[in-house]
Amino acid sequence: MIGVNLWRKLLAAGALLLLWEGAVALSSDAVLISSPSDIAGYLSENFALIARASVETSRNAFWGFLWGNAAAIVLSATMLVLPRSERFLLALALLVFCVPLIASGPILRVLYGPGTGPQVTLAALAVYYTTLLALLVGLRAVSQNWIDLMRVYGRGPLATLMRVRARASLPYLFVGLQISAPAAFLGAMIGEFTGAERGLGVLTLRAMRGLETDATWSLALLSAAIAMTGYGALGWLGRRAVGYAPEILLSAPRQDADQTWWRSLGQTLLIVACVVAVWQLTMDAFDLNRFFAKRPGDVWGFLIVAENRDTLVAALAQTLGSALPGYLAGLSLGAGLAALLILWPGLAQATLPFAVALRAIPIITTAPLLVLGFGRGLAGTTVVVAVMIFFPTLVACQQGLRQTPGQVADLFRSYGAGRFVFLCKAQIPAMLPAFFASARMAVPAALLAVTTVEWLATGKGVGVLMATTSSTSNYNMLWSCVAALAGVAAAAYALVAALERAILRVYASEQLT
């Protein structure tokens, strides 16, 4: 059986390669598209160079992966042990995640000097947030009885964290880690744009400008392959480490006692004040030059001028207009694909590699091809944003769909319900918490994606305002954009969270006790 399957797969892969080769031969854009034989040729001719670059980027990605995920674990544990810190830490984590590379790149390079510091840091920054959110869901996905059990023995939150929550969150941690693998790789690669001496990112940049199409395609495929290896290895490790089929793990968001509006307003203001203080103090602590590391006061002074404010607001409106369709499309694509893969598991082997690849290849490589295919209008923007965010949604939703308790599955089977009915009535409600977790994760990712597209393809919006900084040194505008994007991200996040609470009250209400 296995032998036959393997042969069939090899045959399919071979046919695909032949088709690809043939299509390139017939294509008029032969300068921009490489055939499998060209790619193989390039890789074998430049083996030593490519191998050195791969090792360099992978090593940076590895360290970033470790640091970023360690940070996520520490942060999530802190939030559980000190619940009062949660809102603040979560807000801070979101805002740091929102700082775009164009603002963080120069700061990191000045802080670290030459070397791999910025690459590792950017890889870490690319992963910590998704893992944090996945872990927070996981750490809460424990039965109230387990917590009661701990309390009956007089054990507090710390013991509960160590003995119950940590272990119970393992399946979620591995989902986070799996999503992290390609993200860390991409982060390390993008980090090389801050002036690194070597690595796959440097080579990609050079290949694209040099119209070295074979090199561009080879590098993209190689990046994807390395990321896929990491993804696969973590999946395997996760299955071994978890070691049991998790029971029903629907977890509703934290139930805050119904707050009066003025209390939540007060809390929000307090968080904003803390964030502003952290922003100011961090920059002061590292003695970062005011020329490019703008403080809150500088931004305030800049935005107080109506002209500057109007420019920013107009750009922000354009950016949000293009971000929303892409965000919705990416979420639907991720959730839809997850549902399809549950209905037809055979599809997974064909689609997942593409999904991982799209997540691991830098957007500067994929965006031009997508723009070539879909144009520079709304369709193109939507596609690029969707491509950037659908992968975490897909992985999280797949995990969520598998959470349907076995007894519920049996119940549906006993009524002779088909797979589709089962999906709609049991699996999708079971998937909702994971879906919403990824919808929250996708908010900052969508904003970062859309600003990149604006810079590369549409020439509008906040992305252009920020990209212009490199020639104008208008760091006031850059940091105003950063502050505005962070504010928008926080507001959108809160909106999604409110929606989540409302919907989970209905679908996972039995989990709210």
Partner 1 sequence: MTQPRHLTRRFFLQTSAVAAASAGVPAFAASPTAVNFQLSWLHSVQFGGSYIAKQRGYWSDLGLDVSLSQGGPNAPVEPPVVSGAALVGISAADYTAAAVTQGAPFKIIAVAMQKNPFAIASLAGNPVNEPADLVGKKIGMAVANTPVLQALCTLNDVDIDEIEIVPTQYDPAPLVSGQVDCLLSWATDLPVAMTVQGVDNTTMLMADYGYALHSQTYIATDDAIANRRADLVALLKGEVMGWTDYLADTDAAAVLTAEMFPDAGLDLEAQKLQAARQVPLMFTDLTEQHGFGWFTDETVAANIETLVLLGQEVSADLWDRSLLEEVHG
Partner 2 sequence: MISPDIICDAVTKSFGATQAVSEFSATLKAGHTTALVGPSGCGKSTILRMIAGLETPERGEVLVGDEAPDAVARRGALAMSFQDPSLLPWRSVSANIALGAELARKPADQVDHLIDLVGLSGFADHRPAALSGGMRQRAAIARSLISKPEVLLLDEPFGAVDAITRRRLNVDLPPLWRARGTTVVLVTHSVEEALLLSDRVIVLSSRPASVVADIAVDAPGPRDSAFLDTPAVQDHARALYSALEGR
Query: Is the CB of 164 or the CB of 188 nearer to partner 2?
Result: 164
Q: Count CA within 13 A, CB hemisphere, residue 165.
A: 26
- Cβ proximity of 315 and 400 under 8 Å: no
Q: How far apart are CA 321 and CA 378, in angstroms?
A: 9
Among 107, 492, 504, 508, binds partner 1 (CB under 8 A): 107
Q: Which of 34, 131, 178, 194 binds partner 1 (CB under 8 A)?
A: 194
Residue 244 contacts partner 2 per CB under 8 A = yes
Q: Is 248 left (phi over 0), alpha (psi -120 to 50) or beta?
A: beta
240 counts as binding partner 2 under rule CB under 8 A: no
Residue 295 binding target from partner 2, partner 1, none, CB below 5 to 8 Å by type: none
Q: Is 214 helix (H, G, I), strand (E, B) or coil?
A: helix
- 287 contacts partner 2 (rule: CB under 8 A): no
Task: State the minimum distance, in angstroms, from the CB of residue 402 to partner 2.
Answer: 15
* 497 binds, options partner 2, partner 1, none, Cβ within 5 to 8 A by partner type: none
Residues 404 to 443: which contact partner 2 by CB under 8 A?
A: none
CB 508 within 8 A of CB 250: yes
How far, in Å, CA of 77 to CA of 86, rounded? 10
* Per CB under 8 A, 450 contacts partner 1: no
Instruction: Categorise residue 433: left if φ over 0, alpha if ψ from -120 to 50, beta otherwise.
Output: alpha
Compute the least distance from the CB of residue 160 to partner 2, in Å: 10
- Shortest Å distance, C-beta 456 to partner 1: 5
Q: Does 49 bind partner 1 (CB under 8 A)?
A: yes
Tokens of 173: 């941690």
State how far the Cα of 453 lies from the Cα of 469, in Å rounded to an integer.
16
Return all residues near 343 (Cβ < 8 A) that are at least 6 apart.
419, 420, 423
Using the CB atoms, write b or e for 86-97: b if 16+ within 10 Å.
bbbbbbbbbbbb
- Mask of contacts with partner 1, 86-105, x by CB under 8 A? ---------------xx--x
CB 190 within 8 A of CB 125: no
CA atoms 222, 228, 229, 231: torsion sign: positive
Nearer to partner 1, 267 or 468 (CB): 468
Q: Which does 325 bind (CB under 5 to 8 A by kind): partner 2, partner 1, none?
A: none
Identity of the residue, 101 or 355, whose beta carbon is nearer to partner 1 in the bound complex: 101
Residue 299's contacts (CB-CB under 8 Å, 6 or more residues apart) are 476, 479, 480, 483
The residue from 2, 31, 209, 243 that contacts partner 2 (CB under 8 A) is 243
105-113, 139-147, 226-234, 266-274 -> range binding partner 2 (CB under 8 A): 139-147
Total residues at interface with partner 1 (CB under 8 A)? 65
Using rule CB under 8 A, residue 467 touches partner 1? yes
Q: Which of 18, 211, 270, 317 binds partner 1 (CB under 8 A)?
A: 211
Closest CB to partner 2 among residues 145, 414 = 145
What's the CA gap between 155 and 294, in Å, rounded?
Answer: 46
User: Which of 40, 92, 110, 248 is the binder for partner 1 (CB under 8 A)?
Assistant: 110
Q: Are 87 and 237 in contact (CB under 8 A)?
A: no
H-helix or E-strand containing 222?
helix 213-242
Report helix, strand or coil for 377: coil
Nearest distance, CB of residue 151 and partner 2, angstroms: 6
Smallest distance from partner 2 to CB 168, Å: 8
Quote the crossing angle between the two packed helices 306-343 and 296-303, to the nearest 10°.
110
- Which pair of tokens denotes residue 18? 């032949």
Footprint of partner 1 on 364-383 (CB under 8 A): 364, 367-368, 372, 376
Whichever of 146 and 507 has its CB closer to partner 2, that residue is 146
**In the complex, minimum distance from the CB of residue 152 to partner 2, in angstroms, rounded to a whole number:** 4
- What is the nearest approach in angstroms of partner 2 to the Cβ of residue 239? 13
Q: Which of 123, 303, 457, 508 binds partner 1 (CB under 8 A)?
A: 457
Measured distance between the N- and C-terminal CA atoms of the chain, rounded to whole angstroms: 48
Instruction: Quote helix, strand, coil % in the chain, to nearest 5.
Output: 85, 0, 15
The token pair that represents 335 in the structure block: 């959730």
Our CB check for partner 2 shows the closer of 166 and 207 to be 166
Q: Which of 259, 282, 473, 509 binds partner 1 (CB under 8 A)?
A: 473
What are the angstrom distances between the C-alpha of 19 and each of 35, 36, 37?
10, 10, 12
Binding site for partner 2 (CB under 8 A): 143, 145-146, 148-155, 159, 163-164, 167-168, 170, 242-247
* Residues binding partner 1 (CB under 8 A): 29, 31-32, 46, 49, 52-53, 56, 101-102, 105-107, 109-110, 113-114, 190, 192-199, 202-203, 205-213, 215, 288-292, 364, 367-368, 372, 376, 455-460, 464, 467-476
